[in-house]
Structure 1
Amino acid sequence: MSTAIVVGAGIGGITAAVALQHCGWEVTVLERAAALGEVGAGISVWPGAAAVLTELGVKGIEQAGALSGPVGLRKPSGRWLVGAADLGVELPVMIHRPRLHELITAEFGPAVTVRTGYEVKTVTQDDTGVLINDELRADLVVAADGLRSVIRTALYPQYAGPRYSGYTAYRGIADVLATDGGETWGKAQRFGVAQLIDGRAYWYATANQPAGQGGDLAAVIRQYGSWHDPIPEILAATGTALQNDIYDLPLPLVPFAAGRIALLGDAAHAMTPNMGRGACTAIEDAGALARHLTAAPDTATALTRYDAERRPAATKLVKRSRQIGQLGQLENPLARGARDALMAAGALVARGAAALRR
């Protein structure tokens, strides 16, 4: 039986473990944290990722219900700029991140072994396999060890690594039903709301500030508590907020394959969260990797095909997501006015085109 080591037990890593298990591989998952699990608020599951999870037998990824109110983009006053329906935007399933992690790991079978509290320090390889910490050996290593990947750094020491976007993000879960959804764009600030499949409201906010400055729920309430309804109600129903400075990886991305090592998820293509595609792209990576390992005559060919498929797709998302963030975080009032006018005009054009098609 072919053997694989997956380094990192985030969403991408555990999906890769399940996918490799489905291909008949024996998998060891190495996780640096003391326990298996995930920290976070909401996560969007787009159709491509949902299809991969469904194929792997993961249950519970379904749309429980639609928002009862409008969804789209508006200003802090509440004035709508554009509605999702005007642009024909497909909405993802929203789920609590720890819950998604549980649903995926529930599919671990006897072919998957998990070792927690294990820190990867060295990786070496030859024509026959890969050696981790001069101790663990496998036919394949999947590096799913995140934004500051130890394995990516070892493979590509010349690569610049993570770059700061210029803004931080707050995330939280409120024990209220989200009726309206979408995002609100202000001066260098954004606030988004979505309904989770369990009925609670997931929210996120962004603000321009230097890296490392920090922040908490009280800071969010000070900055966004006077924005339009239902934002004040949602914040009042929130117990705590997570805060993370936002980074991505600079382009061009490094190759996703080197010998018998495959990069996956944030280790390969960390992107800003502006499109809600980061974890979904990692899930799609896992599905593609397993597909190529099954179809190709050998591991080297499979990884070459994996890189050829996934790197161009991820590059587009990294670039587009960063551009959206730059638009959303504009500070100059003239630039913001032009941006908002263009969005409103685009909505009118889209509505007119839709009317002509009827």
Structure 2
Amino acid sequence: MGSKKVILTVLGARPQFVKAAAVSRQLQAFGIPEIIVHTGQHFDQNMSDVFFSEMSIPAPAYNLNINSLNHGAMTGRMLEQVEEVILKEKPLAVMVYGDTNSTLAGALAAVKLHVRVIHVEAGLRSFNMAMPEEVNRILTDRISSLLFCPTDAAVANLKAEGFDGFKAQIVKCGDVMQDAAYFYLDKAKRESKILNELKLSNDFVLATIHRQENTDDPSNLKNIIDGLNRINRETRVVVPLHPRTRKILEQMGISPEFTVINPVGYFDMLMLISNCKLVMTDSGGLQKEAFFFGKHCITLREQTEWVELVEHGFNRLAGPNADTIYHAYSEMINKKSNFDIDLYGNGKASQNIAEQLKLWL
């Protein structure tokens, strides 16, 4: 099909919009037209017009409103509707981010119409195929023409999988999350009131639990809560917790001793990360954001995609084990490290992507 010199960006989750905002700013600066499609995967009433204006994010041209379905049904519906948008807009390439169902659906819809796929955050591996995200990222990488890798480890993963022999270009660009975190911090300082509301200084532990492998496994969840309760007796622990997880805890008869708050927006989260003493999380993104702001991190999983953080001693894998979690806390809470090392591009990843796309298109 005859293509227009435009990039169609497919997004579905709130963090993807934050990352894409950093890249979109650079695409505009380099004169590269972009059309944004929101699949609706993460249905979030906070993602209103206010969200887009406050975050300086271009509003999506299309909102497909596909959510609250099982993995197969959701991916299939997205594939069908993204295909319709591609046929209508005739983009030169489709750009996707990360490892959600929206990522895979956007990539599949494009490649089946012989439209090139650009994958931002390519090459990441947890080596745990039980994670839906791992399946999504592996399949998306394999059908992409341009692979933007955030780290050396991501590049090495692709090479180990034989990508040098595929018709694909691999580019190490850095991590766009770092660009976004640095860009939004000043605005967060001006607009967030969460530190005052919770009466927090900088002597607290920030923890999050959201992965299904932890929230849907009673043993894992109980172990994590026990570990955090024990830590809270020494250092205040603050946990933004999804209502669904709160309900599971109530059903299990588990009462957290630490401070539980409702999920927070990006600005509030930036203030919590940049002011805490230590981060504990099962989130991939938060592991990196801890590093961006010079904080050590304990990962409540058995593996991480961000192996360089573990290798350099900024991150410690604890898994869902109460004793291991507490011992990791004891080791990391007062640890001193030099965070002045360029692991993720020092905030220039989006510019690197735009420069490469200008040449590629």
TM range (shorter): 0.3 to 0.5
Which has the greater radius of gyration?
A: 1
Instruction: Determine which structure has greater relative contact order: mean sequence separation of CA pairs < 8 Å that are 6+ residues apart, divided by chain length.
Output: 1
Per residue, is there more strand in 1 or in 2? 1
The TM-score with structure 1 as length reference comes to: 0.36
Per residue, is there more helix in 1 or in 2? 2
